[in-house]
Amino acid sequence: MQQTRTVELGTGLFVFLGVGALFFLTTQTSNVQGFTGDSYTVTARFENVGSLAARAPVTMAGVTIGRVAAIDFDPDLLDAVVTLRLNSRYDRIPEDSDASILTAGLLGGQYVGLTPGGSEEYLADQSVIEFTQSAVVLEQLISKYLFQGGSE
Amino acid sequence: MTQWFFELVYTLRGFLQTFGAMNLFFLRIVSYSPRAIIRRFPLVIRQVYNSGTLSLVLIMVCGFFVGMVLGLQGYDNLSKFNSEDSVGTVAALSLLQELGPVLAALLWSGRAGTALASEIGLMRATDQLSAMEMMAVDPLRRVVVPRFLGGVVSMPLLAAIFSGIGIFGAYVSGVIILGVDGGVFFSQMQANVEPVHIWQGIIKSCVFGVAASLMAVFEGYNSIPTAEGVGRATTRTVVLTAIAVLALDYMITAAVLALTD
Amino acid sequence: MSERSEYVVEIQGLCFSRGQRRIFQDLDIKMRRGDVTAIMGPSGTGKTTLLRFITGQLVPDRGSVWVNGYQVDRTPRKGLYEMRREIGMLFQNGALLSDYNVFENVAFPLREHTNLPERLIHHVVLTKLHAVGLRGAWQMSPTELSGGMARRVALARAIVMDPEILIYDEPFAGLDPISMGVVVRLIRQMNDVLGISSIVVSHDVGEISAVADSSYLISEGKVAASGTPDELSKDGSALVRQFMHGMADGPVPFHYPAPDYGSQLLGRDDE
């Protein structure tokens, strides 16, 4: 009888700890819950997205307000179409806001930063962000610098 | 020359035969499992205790030290690039994707897998399995299936505990001892760990659980019924589990990378 | 199922070989219902293998095995399990389940096959343990038992489902004289009191003579002699005499086949 209770107690403890650890790992180590809540999507066209990847954060004033949902290439206009999924809580972002692809730190991943415009109209589902600034590609930057230096 | 060739063929044939037997054994166990869960639930619980609870302390202690080492090594290497803030990311990613599932499976096989193999082997050697058969009780259902299920249930939980404690260990060495900012430790980790990493780890530990449990019960059940045979079965359990786990690890990693890219 | 034939076990023309080795050839054995039948033979003649045919763990190459109305070699797995419920078997060392104590070992078949209430199980188990004289040991673990006690517990377990046939595999091996006497008495008692048929595999001639109604001596895959133990000990053939009287040399040679002694000693073993 005593032994059965030890087994039950031990098993309970073990399963409790295990499920707790699973819960901790799935909720606390990662910060991607934005896709489950209400959201709306907007698109932005870039000449060059650099190494931007799907699921990269979209920030405004440094706060993550959404994620990159998809990146596609438009064969007609020959540019990249980036679909952004923004949290529905942030529904008053001026329509003429500016999207740029930025790099976190020197070696960090790339993300989309939104800079607010002054319009009274707000971005809504399926809106298109008109003003964009492409990723800065290191090689282009260097060659530009070298080219200018050489012509002087 | 020809003898050498025949020996090779012979060995290969033996290997294939064992592999086939193992697969058939696996299918039989799986086909008995649903009823075992319903009819013999207390036995399965008992084996979760044997496989899981009894491995708990080992898993926790090892997980903690592995995490401490990751924190230390990560800090040492990352500080060369001025990115010691990423130590949480490095530790969490290594633990979740690789070290948690793999080390938990290897430790489990050393602690619980050998115990299972020798227990079943001893039951074979002392005619307990035949006695059950004679009492019209199928030892596969009564002895093997509950033990197999106990291992299968335990493994993902053990791997999760290993990873969780490991992250704590990395926190202790990285933040408390070496002075990385605690907030940065977690925010960096949360920014870079994605659900696919976590799912990868969970899938791995489930697959490893099946493989390691299968090796243990198969080796035990098919051991030669002598003291030496049982000893050999436990050794083979550890060796085969290590090979199977690491090979499967590579395959799953490759598959996940292929599917997510 | 069991049309009550006179014989509880009938083996006809059993042939079996393992690899190149022929174990049985045209073996015929009949065991009368209600008797204690002994199977004797030198070590390595496949006495235990024979039991595996009776219990359906092995299938013969040729011949048929009838046990209690079942044709064992043709019965599918499920039927075998049904048949085995009518058989109790005592293994050489008892084969008690090491996870459980004495009580739970005896209760094991009941718990597996019946839904009896706990109180009834308690009652039945203690009755059976009392029959083998070990009611007081119900709480002990199998590791605490002596060899003789373990065998008696196994006997209690074998009779807990009230079988029609009891099989003993080497019940006397490795027992001290007192335990031996106890087991001999129990075999006889169980057989007569419970009205069952018993099969005893052994090579302890003395004990067998004390307990068996009829016996078979098996050698080289065949029945070498059969009859009551008395008849066997008076049998004229050299092999039976050697076995029944425990002579070192005879048809079963003392020397394992070897090259010529003299030439091997002189170091000419390269031939």
Q: What is the pLDDT of residue C1?
A: 43
Asked if residue C46 lies in contact with residue C221, where contact means CB atoms within 8 angstroms, the answer is: yes
B193 to chain A, any CB pair closer than 8 A? The answer is yes
Per CATH, domain C1-83+198-271 is 3.30.1130.10: no
- Nearest CB among A18, A31, A105 relative to B190 is that of A31
A88-120 core/surface letters (b: 16 or more CB in 10 A; e: else): eebeebbbebbbbbbbeeeeeebbbbbeebeee
Q: What values do phi and psi take at B102, rounded to 5?
A: -70, -50
Q: Is the pLDDT of residue A34 over 60?
A: no
Q: Which position has the token pair 């002694």?
A: C261
- How far is it, in rounded angstroms, from Cα B237 to Cα B222? 11
- How far is it, in rounded angstroms, from Cα A99 to Cα A79? 15
pLDDT tens digits for B185-235? 888 888 788 888 899 999 999 999 999 999 999 999 999 989 899 999 999
Which of B98, B155, B161 is the best substitution to test chain A (most A C-beta atoms within 10 A)?
B161
Of the listed ranges C85-94, C142-151, C198-207, C228-237, the one predicted with least confidence: C228-237
Q: Between B and C, how many residue pairs show a Cβ–Cβ distance under 8 A? A: 50
Parse chain A into domains and list their residue ranges. Answer: 1-30, 39-142
The CB-side HSE value for B223 (13 A sphere, CA atoms) comes to: 33
Q: What is the pLDDT of residue C2?
A: 45
Q: Please name the chains neighbouring B, where neighbouring means 3+ C-beta pairs under 8 angstroms.
A: A, C
Q: What values do phi and psi take at A53, rounded to 5?
A: -130, 160
Residues in chain C within 8 Å Cβ distance of B131:
89, 91, 95-97, 154
Q: CB–CB of C98 and B122 under 8 A? A: yes
DSSP-assigned beta bridge partners for residue C166? C88, C198
pLDDT tens digits for B153-195? 999 999 999 999 999 999 999 999 988 888 888 888 887 888 8
Q: Between chain B and chain A, are at least 3 CB pairs below 8 A?
A: yes
Looking at residue C77, what DSSP letter applies? H
C106 to chain B, any CB pair closer than 8 A? The answer is no
Of the listed ranges B213-227, C19-33, C157-171, C243-257, the one predicted with least confidence: C243-257
- How far is it, in rounded angstroms, from Cα B45 to Cα B52? 10
- Nearest CB among C84, C96, C112 relative to B134 is that of C84
Of the listed ranges B49-53, C6-10, C140-144, the one predicted with least confidence: C6-10
- Nearest CB among B49, B160, B189 relative to A18 is that of B160
* Confidence class for position C271, pLDDT limits 50, 70, 90: very low
Helix (H, G, I), strand (E, B) or coil at C170: coil
C89 to chain B, any CB pair closer than 8 A? The answer is yes
Question: Which helix (DSSP H) or strand (DSSP E) does residue C240 occupy?
Answer: helix C238-245
Q: CB–CB of C84 and B130 under 8 A? A: no
Which of B41, B43, B53 is the best substitution to test chain A (most A C-beta atoms within 10 A)?
B53
Q: What is the pLDDT of residue B250?
A: 95
Selected residues 58-117 of chain A with any CB under 8 Å from a CB in chain B: 105, 107, 109
- Nearest CB among A10, A11, A30 relative to B190 is that of A30
Looking at residue C143, what DSSP letter applies? G
The order of strands in the sheet holding A128-129 is A128-129, A39-46, A79-87, A63-74, A57-60, A110-115, A98-103, A131-133
Q: Which long-range contacts link A119-125 to residues 24+ away (Cβ below 8 Å)?
A: A119/A94, A119/A95, A120/A94, A121/A94, A121/A95, A121/A96, A122/A91, A122/A92, A122/A93, A122/A94, A122/A95, A123/A42, A123/A86, A123/A91, A123/A93, A123/A94, A123/A95, A123/A97, A124/A40, A124/A42, A124/A91, A125/A40, A125/A41, A125/A42
Residues in chain A within 8 Å Cβ distance of B156:
18, 22
ipTM of the complex: 0.80
Looking at residue C136, what DSSP letter applies? G
Range ranked top by mean pLDDT from B119-123, C34-38, C150-154: B119-123
Asked if residue C99 lies in contact with residue C142, where contact means CB atoms within 8 angstroms, the answer is: no
Which of B190, B197, B200, B203 is the best substitution to test chain A (most A C-beta atoms within 10 A)?
B190
Q: Between chain C and chain A, are at least 3 CB pairs below 8 A?
A: no
Q: CB–CB of C92 and B134 under 8 A? A: no
Give the percent of chain C with pLDDT over 70.
Answer: 97
Q: How close B126 comes to chain A (CA, Å)?
A: 25
Q: Which residue on chain A is closest to B51 by alpha carbon?
A: A11
Q: What is the DSSP string of chain B?
A: -HHHHHHHHHHHHHHHHHHHHHHHHHHHHHHHHHHHHHHTHHHHHHHHIIIIIHHHHHHHHHHHHHHHHHHHHHHHHHGGGT-GGGHHHHHHHHIIIIIHHHHHHHHHIIIIIHHHHHHHHHHHHTTHHHHHHHTT--HIIIIIHHHHHHHHHHHHHHHHHHHHHHHHHHHIIIIIIT---HHHHHHHHHHH--HHHHHHHHHHHHHHHHHHHHHHHHHHHTS-SSHHHHHHHHHHHHHHHHHHHHHHHHHHHHHHHHHH-
pTM, full prediction:
0.79
pLDDT tens digits for B59-118? 999 999 999 999 999 999 988 887 888 888 899 999 999 999 999 999 999 999 999 999
Q: What is the pLDDT of residue A32?
A: 56
- How far is it, in rounded angstroms, from Cα C157 to Cα C121? 12
B31 to chain C, any CB pair closer than 8 A? The answer is no
What is chain C's mean pLDDT, rounded?
84
The order of strands in the sheet holding C214-219 is C87-90, C165-169, C197-201, C36-40, C214-219, C222-227
Q: What is the pLDDT of residue A36?
A: 56
pLDDT tens digits for A113-138? 888 888 888 888 888 888 888 877 77
DSSP-assigned beta bridge partners for residue A80? A46, A73
- How far is it, in rounded angstroms, from Cα C119 to Cα B127? 30
Q: What is the pLDDT of residue B114?
A: 95
Over residues A69-98, mean pLDDT: 87
C47 to chain B, any CB pair closer than 8 A? The answer is no
- How far is it, in rounded angstroms, from Cα A2 to Cα B226? 34
Q: CB–CB of A14 and B197 under 8 A? A: no
Q: What is the pLDDT of residue B251?
A: 94
A57 to chain B, any CB pair closer than 8 A? The answer is yes
Q: What is the DSSP string of chain A?
A: -HHHHHHHHHHHHHHHHHHHHHHHHHHHS----TTTS-EEEEEEEES--TT--TT-EEEETTEEEEEEEEEEEETTTTEEEEEEEEETT----BTT-EEEEEESTTTS-EEEEEE----SSB--TT-EE-EEEPPPPHHHHHHHHHHHHHH-
Q: Which residue on chain B is closest to C162 by alpha carbon?
A: B135
Q: Is the pLDDT of residue A152 over 50?
A: no
Please name which of C155, C164, C158, C67 lies closest in space to residue C110, comparing C-alpha atoms.
Answer: C158
Over residues A44-66, mean pLDDT: 83
Over residues B36-49, mean pLDDT: 89
Selected residues 110-169 of chain C with any CB under 8 Å from a CB in chain B: 112-113, 154, 157, 161
